[in-house]
A and B are shown apart, each in its own frame.
Chain A
Amino acid sequence: MGKYIIRRFLWAIPVLLAIITATFLLAHSIPGGPFDYAGEKQLPESVRQNLMRKYRLDEPIYVQLGLWIWDALRFDFGPSYYSRGQTVNDILRRTFPISAQLGILSLLLALLIGIPAGTIAAVKQNTPLDYTATFVAILGVSIPNMVLGPLLIWIFSVHLGWFPAARWGVDYTQLYLGFFPPLTHKFWSHAFLPMITLGTAYSASIARLTRASLLQVIREDYMRTAKAKGLHGFRVIVVHGLRNSLIPVATVLGPMFAGIVTGSLIVERIFGIPGMGRYFVDSITNRDYPVILGTTLVYSVLLVLGNLLVDLSYAWLDPRIRYD
């Protein structure tokens, strides 16, 4: 097992290098550079030259890539071209924890709703309970965040006045160890609506997956055996059924984790949350190469990590699976 993990980590290195190189080349091949225009005004060539020199963009492209990797090895991801005076490290340090807080809370919520809902739907297949759960799940999947978010703001902040309309309850200067938020009333009141918005969409797909997978498992022989042994119905489903049916759920959770933890562009935008979601898009529109690379790297690392965790969880979910 230990060997397996080490091997996976070593494999991650060429994977990340390949991702970075590809991202770097793609980013630089988009027409237009970071310093061609200020707004709609084209910058004079002389001004552009100064900027290119300052940010070492006048070097050959392979030198730039080498310099970037060399700096990145020492955890220095360079300056932002757009937010002058800010480094990519500054941006990641303050936006990632916020996105991760929202992401982790939403994911927990999604699991908390999704798995029980899926289980109930499967056990009570083709009953009104199943139809209701399935209907709600489909609703959850098909209402996009950009509709649900403003709707929730409209109902719960503007009309009922229960929650603030937007923003996150803490800022990055108030986090413990640079990551953990103080769990105050203020924190929860700001977190609630975005958490619901982001969580429900995921909970819906988790519920549907759990239902489908559990339905398959329910018909297996060992389930019948367990029932025949006289075990309690609930125990049969949870211990024998659910655990085996979670493998497909775990499989989607890996990439889902990486995506949700690095921030949702839409939910963060609607609720004015200072997370890193917008940087995935804005960095490309601004041709802010170091930020493009920084955000992509964080996402890739989390994806690699998420997939590793998923693979490890297989062994726990199904003892027949072994890694040697």
Chain B
Amino acid sequence: MRSMRGLLLAIGIISLLLWPVLAQDKVVLRRNLGTEPPTADPALATDTTSVEIIEQMFLGLTDLAEEDMSPIPELATSWEISDDATQFTFHMRKDVYWVHCDPETGEVTELDKVVNAHDVVYGVLRTLDPRTASDYAYVLYILKGASDFNTADPEAENFEELRAAVGVEAVDDFTVRFTLRTPAAYFLQIASMWVARPQPQWVIEEYGEKWTEPGNIVTNGPYCMKEWVHEDHMVMVKNPYWPDWDKAGGNIDEIYFTMVQETSTEFAMYLNNELDLSAVPLPELDNVKSDPVLSQELTIRPFPCTYYYGFTTTKPPVDDPRVRRALSMAIDRKTLVEEVTKGGQIPANTFAPGMIFGNAALDPDIAPWALPEELGGWGYERAVEEAKRLMAEAGYPDGEGLEFVLMHNVSEAHARIAQAIQAMWLEAFPKANIRIETQEWKVYLQTIEKDTPVENVPAVWRLGWCQDYPDENNWVHEVFNPVEGSNRPRMSFDDPYVGDLVKRFSDLTLRAQLEQDPVIRQQLYKEAEKLLCDDIAAIAPIYYYTQVVLTKPWLTRHWHDTNHYETWSIDVAAREAAIG
């Protein structure tokens, strides 16, 4: 009896000691990244996973608004643009400090260093330094002298001069000025990108490439890194010194990122309440939609990427624009997204999707045959009639004599789409001979390069494009401009059919780059899109991507282009009630 009482007393004391700990249970968000982020270094990131974790830890001068991805203040509170749009001066806030997170305890300490203009200058120059070997350094080539510095030999005598000549300077401790090589209305979007963010010089110099490991890393965003057990998980904890918590409104104290690659496993973990949100594996989508509970948790939203087929415009039979247009017309995009891809994708008639500045997506002035009737387009029946007429006019009645290769990189999803489109084409042009070929990704990318001998290039190939920054310049210009862009379709001013249209297209995207009036830019891009997808028909846009996400009912989230967890919140009581 005595010992019993002693035991009870001990339990009482222990639980009293533990009480504060138990009472302040942290709100933990559990999210699967789907893969190990290749890097957490803002200078080196190229992929969306790395960008997602960098976004939590490092602030940019500007940020992109949730609704329309327009640039809004982040580290910079205001900015001035010179009249010729070649000088951008940003005024920075003075209340954001660098912080360090203890990997053992998770305790965040505020360092005695304010994030300032010199950190931005250092970050930009480090990204551009050829010794950093950043893949995305070229995004900053818009800065004066940037390309010269990035391509310089580090051993060269004038290396330091080249470094000093780059168009970025700290006017004072909290004012940073960028000088551009040419006017660029879209520079505010570039200023939001990870390659232009402040970086902690003293930490990078101390730890070298290992500076992004927990314990070493110093950050300034709403979350900081406590643990990174590579390929297994990463833990981020709230940075209480980040000044905007009240504005952000979220309540997540800690984010536990897992790195499970297989979507069906991620989905099982979600069902098992091990995750608060999840992607949906394609084969499960029909089940999810018909499930009374899961369908309530499902969200399908547009995502700024486009899936398209490109034509090699120098290779017969698709050197004839009528053939290209006929093929593009004969793709039943509505059926494709409803029956094959099934993720709520949107039939595409232009290259850039909605949300991108300057886009003309779903505008029935452009390639109306690609759009279903309810979106103001022709609908497939009318489109396919016109396609047959055009194909006959081009000398291939019913596809007689039409022979070409459609190529895609090895992937089950691409194969399903290619087979569906091949079937649509054969339905429209029954006598055609269309072969599907596949190649491994990197080999494929080389095959469809514009300097591959034309006999080795397929006539039709598939690709997708996702934004680096939300402006048409990143789309029609960088991808297709015949002079400055990648131009995989090999559009040429000497094209016997559409040479003058190609010239016009090229001039348009160059002019739009320099133009500052947003209304005029919009018009220029609309015309460029019409040339690209309709008149020249160098590509057949197929669909705009969507993201298909399941969210547990206790999680309230936002939809920034990259997740902003500081705005998310979890109803802990609801979660506990549900999980038990």
Contact = CB atoms under 8 A, between A and B. Distances in A.
Interface of A: 30-32, 35-44, 46-47, 49-51, 53-55, 82-86, 90-91, 94-95, 150, 153-154, 157-158, 161, 164-168, 171-173, 269-272, 274, 278, 285, 287
Given A43-B138, A172-B229, A278 B443 contact: no
B46 A157 contact: no
Contact of B272 (A35, A42, A94, A164): A164
B462 to A, nearest CB: 11
A-B pairs, top 6 by smallest CB distance, nearest first, are A32-B442, A272-B260, A274-B231, A38-B46, A46-B151, A54-B133
Given A40-B463, A171-B233, A272-B258, A82 B268 contact: no
B38 A83 contact: yes
Nearest to A85: B209
B555 to A, nearest CB: 19
28 contacts: A36-B442, A38-B46, A41-B468, A41-B486, A42-B445, A42-B449, A44-B138, A46-B150, A47-B135, A50-B132, A50-B134, A50-B150, A51-B135, A53-B130, A53-B133, A83-B230, A84-B39, A85-B44, A95-B231, A157-B268, A166-B265, A171-B229, A173-B229, A271-B265, A272-B259, A272-B260, A272-B262, A287-B442
B437 interface: no
Contacts of A38: 46-47, 135-136
A22 to B, nearest CB: 20
Contacts of A50: 130-134, 137, 150-151
A133 B164 CA distance: 77
Given A50-B150, A95-B231, A168-B232, A153 B268 contact: yes
A91 B212 CA distance: 16
A30 B212 CA distance: 32
A47 B195 CA distance: 14
A55 B274 CA distance: 40
B296 interface: no
Contacts of B440: 285
B193 to A, nearest CB: 13
Given A50-B130, A82-B38, A272-B262, A165 B272 contact: yes
A145 to B, nearest CB: 12
B445 A37 contact: yes
A36 to B, nearest CB: 7
B28 to A, nearest CB: 16
Contacts of A36: 442, 445-446
Contact of A32 (B44, B229, B262, B446): B446
A100 B186 CA distance: 51
B133 A285 contact: no
Nearest to A166: B265
Interface string B47-75: 10000000000000000000000000000
A47 B150 contact: yes
Contacts of A161: 272
A85 B210 contact: yes
A166 B269 contact: yes
A47 B466 contact: no
Nearest to B231: A274
Contacts of B212: 85
Interface in B460-500: 463-466, 468, 486
Contact of A39 (B46, B138, B265): B46
B264 interface: yes
Nearest to A49: B151
B559 interface: no
Contacts of B271: 158, 165
Contacts of B463: 40
Interface in B235-278: 258-262, 264-265, 268-269, 271-272, 274
B164 to A, nearest CB: 19
A274 B442 contact: no
B119 interface: no
Nearest to B229: A171
Interface string B358-393: 000000000000000000000000000000000000
B300 to A, nearest CB: 23
B319 interface: no
A41, A91, A158: which has the most chain B beta carbons within 10 Å? A41
A83 B41 contact: no
Nearest to B45: A84
Contacts of B39: 83-85
A115 B265 CA distance: 32
B147 interface: yes
A285 B41 CA distance: 23
Interface string B105-132: 0000000000000000000000000111
Nearest to B270: A165
A86 B230 contact: yes
Given A40-B463, A161-B272, A287-B442, A167 B258 contact: yes
Contacts of B260: 166-167, 272
Given A31-B446, A158-B271, A165 B265 contact: yes
A272 B265 contact: yes
B465 A40 contact: yes
Contacts of A167: 232, 258, 260
Contacts of A86: 230
B151 A171 contact: no
B232 A171 contact: yes
Contacts of A55: 133
Given A166-B260, A272-B259, A84 B209 contact: yes
Contact of B261 (A30, A157, A173, A272): A272
B417 to A, nearest CB: 16
B36 interface: yes
B232 A274 contact: yes
A150 B136 CA distance: 38
B465 A158 contact: no
A55 B135 CA distance: 13
Contacts of A85: 39, 41, 44, 209-210, 212
A317 to B, nearest CB: 39
Nearest to A55: B133
Given A50-B132, A85-B39, 17 more contacts: A32-B443, A37-B442, A38-B47, A42-B486, A43-B138, A46-B151, A47-B138, A53-B133, A54-B133, A83-B230, A86-B230, A90-B230, A157-B268, A165-B265, A166-B274, A167-B260, A172-B229
Contacts of A172: 229, 232
Contacts of B138: 43-44, 46-47
A55, A85, A167, A269: which has the most chain B beta carbons within 10 Å? A85
A84 B47 CA distance: 12
Contacts of B269: 165-166
Nearest to B468: A41
Contacts of A31: 442-443, 446
Contacts of A269: 261-262
Contacts of A35: 135
Interface string B180-217: 00000000000000000000000000000110100000
B232 A54 contact: no
Contacts of A157: 268, 272
A274 B136 contact: no
Contacts of A46: 138, 147, 150-151
Interface string B435-462: 0000011110110010000000000000
